[in-house]
A and B are shown apart, each in its own frame.
Chain A
Amino acid sequence: MGRRATPEVNAGSMADIAFLLLIFFLVTTTIEKDKGIARQLPPKQDEQPPVDIKEKNIFVVTVNKEDQILADNELMDIQDIRQAAISFLDNGGDGTCNYCKGEKDLASSDNPEKAIITVKSDRETSYKTYIQVQNELVAAYNFLRDRESERLFGFKFTKVKSAIATGDYKGNEERAQTKLKEIQALFPMKLSEAEAKKSQ
């Protein structure tokens, strides 16, 4: 009863099997890259202390249910929102803001510290327009922050911020963070959201 040697398993088809699996995973893979506009909602308070804000320090953007945009009491196209917001924030009407390059219009905002942008929307406004407006307003802040960070530190605010977020930043991260904080303080993002009103 001599035992036969077990025949060697043919591994030639191994590559084919592996290829098949590979192709399956290639097809099903969706490398998720969720990005978006981050916001902090105002916390719930029982009694809101009345805040005295001058009307000239508020930039009101209203979007109606036809997706038309009214910014600072002017009917505006979405393309012009960014520039309008930039000139509002950068105005520096009371002269305390020495880095502002705006027109120093007395009828517009006093300084970036006080300037507030409010977005009012109708309940039937489309989400697409709403996000476009939000995006343009964030772009206005980013434009001004980029400009100041280039003047003071020689880098772009948005680039360094995203580099730190992805972990690609070369150099001292903490020092860069404090620099970013400084820039943020120059143009603090004061975007308030009024509740959507009911449409008639």
Chain B
Amino acid sequence: MSKFNKKKGGELPAVNTASLPDIVFMLLFFFMVVTVLRKDNMLVQQKLPKADQVEKLKKDRSVFIYAGKPSSRYKEKFGTEGKIQIGDKYTDINSLEFALSEARTKLIPELQGKVVVGLKVDEQTNVGLLQDVKEKLRDLNMVKIIYITAPGNDVQQ
């Protein structure tokens, strides 16, 4: 009987945490790989309209154009009229051409012909501004566009 009694007296062994750093490092690497630190500093308001009939955007072949009112901290300097932003600076409608071809050269050469223009436009913007941009895109022969939207739908069916 003494054989069995001996075991009972032992304390609960501590959980071995030696592999904890490994687990944490694994998670860390995962997040480091998937993280995209925001490249463009937003100078315009970006509350995208909602839509649910959407397609996915192919990241590698896209150039972004942002449009909207200047964000609250730039309001005093630039007013409240809708503005266009490419990269991290405001762009005039007339210099759109230059800014876009500059953005295009940053893509891989094979995909430069198939470029898709992602339009991130704030929901309070006037369509007129968008129209000017689209007109310029037609001039530049960049006819594939995608209106980037937020998920959801405000319309009640």
Binding site for B on A (CB under 8 A): 11, 14-15, 18-19, 21-22, 25-26, 28-32, 34-44, 63, 78-79, 82, 121-128, 130-132, 134-136, 138-139, 142, 158, 162, 165-166, 193, 195-196
Contacts and interface: CB of A to CB of B under 8 A. Distances in A.
Contacts, number: 159
A89 to B, nearest CB: 15
B138 A38 contact: no
Given A82-B157, A124-B126, A135-B51, A43 B121 contact: no
B24 A128 contact: no
A189 to B, nearest CB: 11
A178 to B, nearest CB: 19
A22 B30 CA distance: 9
Contacts of A79: 155-157
Contact of B138 (A28, A42, A63, A196): A42
B138 A36 contact: no
Contact of B139 (A25, A26, A44, A123): A44
Contacts of B28: 18, 21-22, 25
11 contacts: A15-B24, A37-B146, A38-B116, A38-B144, A39-B145, A41-B137, A44-B139, A126-B126, A128-B124, A134-B147, A136-B155
B78 interface: no
Contacts of A43: 138, 141, 143
A34 B147 contact: no
Given A28-B35, A38-B146, A123-B126, 18 more contacts: A25-B31, A34-B57, A34-B59, A37-B149, A41-B137, A79-B155, A79-B157, A82-B157, A121-B127, A123-B131, A127-B121, A128-B123, A130-B127, A131-B123, A131-B147, A132-B49, A139-B53, A193-B134
A61 B121 CA distance: 21
Given A35-B151, A38-B146, A196 B128 contact: yes
B154 A127 contact: no
Interface of B: 17, 20-21, 24-25, 27-28, 31-32, 34-38, 49-57, 59, 116, 118-119, 121-128, 130-131, 134-135, 137-139, 141, 143-149, 151, 153-157
Smallest CB-CB A-B distances: 7 pairs: A123-B128, A128-B123, A25-B31, A135-B51, A138-B53, A35-B54, A131-B49
A94 B57 CA distance: 38
Contacts of A31: 34
B139 A131 contact: no
A146 B90 CA distance: 42
